Amino acid sequence: MLLSEIKTILNAQVLTGEDDNVLENTNINTACGSDLMSDVLAYVKDQSLLLTGLINSQVIRTAEMMDIIAICFVRGKSPAEDVISLAKQKGVIILATDLPMYPACGRLYQKGLRGRSHAQIL
Amino acid sequence: MHKYYKIDGKDFSIAGEASSDFKTVLKKLGTPAEIVRKVAIAMYEAEINTVIHGGGGECDAAIEKDKIVITFRDQGPGIADISLAMQEGYSTANDKIRELGFGAGMGLPNIQKYADDMSIETEVGKGTTVVLSINL
Ligand SMILES: Nc1ncnc2c1ncn2[C@@H]1O[C@H](COP(=O)(O)OP(=O)(O)O)[C@@H](O)[C@H]1O
Ligand SMILES: [Mg+2]
């Protein structure tokens, strides 16, 4: 799913300043939702979008370590300026939506964006 | 190739800078992505531990002929029971750390999972040294 579609589906803002052209050229294969960075580090395989309610700088660093392309902050949370500049510096795209975690994940899933293990479990 | 990092124990927001820098170094050297990923995750977990449990310390990261060896040293409280600390879910992290998304007790198990070799030397009241290596 293109990041531009994700932005539309979640009615999200782009906090790191990428224009539509970048979003239209960024493909997201799978996503994960978690407020526990330790779990992201332990279980995430190759998900390229992380939805989270946490907005501290370690979320950006976790994304960087895991090669996560984009983060979407849920529940209308907005991170501090230094967190956004860290994301820019590390090349991580940040979106923000007012939707809570469950509906945000649900909307994306309904439109076909799956998580890890989908194939394995079914 | 060898890198040395000071690990600040007071500022959690910069925890991970060493891992970030070393990941960039490995990528620039053309290290295979799968190896870079293993190093990044294991090193980041170890760095976080040095900050949140060890109170800061230092890190040596060396690229040898056939492996990458990373050492984290701190003069923190040490670990009384290593096998307990290695258990998934065991954590002494405080609420502040948990609110930031860490302290799930997955760090050491995670390091063991991603590193090809890992050793812990620790003495209560003296400090902890964690050495992890990843084969090239
Ligand atoms: N450098 C260290 N110094 C002192 N204690 C440590 C250190 N590293 C790990 N520990 C102990 O081992 C426990 C488990 O570590 P870990 O698996 O990384 O989980 P977490 O960091 O989430 O608590 C920690 O809660 C802590 O009690
Ligand atoms: Mg840990």
Q: Domain ranges in chain B?
A: 2-135
Where are the alpha helices (H) located in A1-122, listed in sequence order? 3-9, 20-24, 37-43, 57-66, 81-90, 101-110, 118-121
Query: A3-110, which class in CATH?
Result: alpha beta
Give, using CA atoms, the residue closest to atom 6 of ligand 1: B53
Q: Count contacts between A and B (CB, < 8 Å).
A: 67
pTM, rounded to two decimals:
0.94
Query: Which residues in chain B have their CB less than 8 angstroms from residue A90's CB?
Result: 20
pLDDT tens digits for range A82-119: 999 999 999 999 999 999 999 999 999 999 998 876 54
Alpha carbon of A60: minimum distance to chain B alpha carbons (Å): 10
Query: Which residues in chain B have their CB less than 8 angstroms from residue A36's CB?
Result: 101, 104
- Domain B2-135 homologous superfamily, CATH: Histidine kinase-like ATPase, C-terminal domain (3.30.565.10)
pLDDT tens digits for range A38-87: 889 988 887 799 999 999 999 999 999 999 999 999 999 999 999 999 99
Whether the CB of B7 sits within 6 Å of ligand 1: no
| pLDDT surpassing 90 at residue A16 | yes
The closest alpha carbon to A70, from A8, A109, A15, belongs to A15
Whether the CB of B86 sits within 6 Å of ligand 1: no
- Cα angle value B91/A74/A29 (rounded, 5°): 90
Cβ count within 10 A of residue B35: 15
